[in-house]
Homo-oligomer: A and B are copies of this chain.
């Protein structure tokens, strides 16, 4: 039974708490949050104690830390937890600065603690199935990866101003997915972008519609496109063209009902909310983390995966700003 300290009791912290409650092999012992009411509420639901962060780090009855606090706190928390010998599950991004992530890698490695960077989409049953079948050789050598990702609607401009922009807060998931599926590091990034959804996003110095091309040393190609708004919901698709075939993960719709009328055949919209769309992924991700820590095996995506996705997001941002391909 892995004993957990959960830091940050907001929306994503609650998601992970619910996953942990469904696992027989883990138990939330303590929770902490800057807002005492949030911590108290999650303590009530989970049966955990409220403790402050330092106390959790010092607790003998805590084996692993789940970090769901704001990004700018990750660096210090990772350092504290690693030094305290706790395994770490850290929400993405690990940090907004690649150099600071490198510092975190150092402290994690020095202390030999387990670490999972929470790129939840790798655990989606569909995308995980695609990757497993690539690994099994079902489509031969991967040649072209295509990732189509659109959010239902744009976040407020205030969020974008602090998020690092579309490549760092949204496309970073797709950049990690590209690495997961390509099986080889991208060496070049080319990005274009436009503010087509909301001019205020453009005025804030970002774009809401973006496309990236990645290439690897052996010549594999990945095309990604993002939009901050899709009238039909949360659009999350990808496909992999290989030497022996093609794998395609389609959207998850609200249900499997089709209605036929004079207007044609109509199916349901996509699952519209990311917590619902990726519910199974969040559960599977936590199961993987708990199993890895319990068994002493490495968790994946690792903290290095977290670094590499951030480096790609930085390169995409630079490419978009300069209009030129960027080597990584």
Contact = CB atoms under 8 A, between A and B. Distances in A.
A235 B227 contact: no
Given A209-B219, A232-B265, A265-B269, A245 B260 contact: yes
A236 B235 CA distance: 21
Nearest to A214: B192
A48 interface: no
Report the copy number of this chain in the oligomer.
4
Contacts of A258: 247-248, 250
Interface in A250-289: 250-253, 255-269
A250 B267 CA distance: 11
A213 interface: yes
Contact of A325 (B188, B190, B229, B239): B190
A211 interface: yes
Interface in A124-169: 125-126, 129-130, 133, 138-141, 143-144, 146, 148, 150
Interface residues of A, number: 71
A246 B237 CA distance: 13
A16 interface: no
A231 B269 contact: no
A235 B248 CA distance: 13
A98 interface: no
A241 B146 contact: no
Contacts of A211: 144, 213, 221, 223
Nearest to A245: B261
18 contacts: A126-B257, A129-B268, A143-B196, A144-B211, A192-B221, A194-B221, A195-B219, A225-B241, A231-B260, A231-B261, A232-B262, A235-B260, A245-B259, A247-B258, A251-B256, A262-B269, A265-B269, A323-B325
Please give me the 7 A-B residue pairs with the lowest Cβ-Cβ distance, nearest first: A194-B219, A232-B260, A245-B261, A246-B260, A265-B267, A250-B256, A266-B266
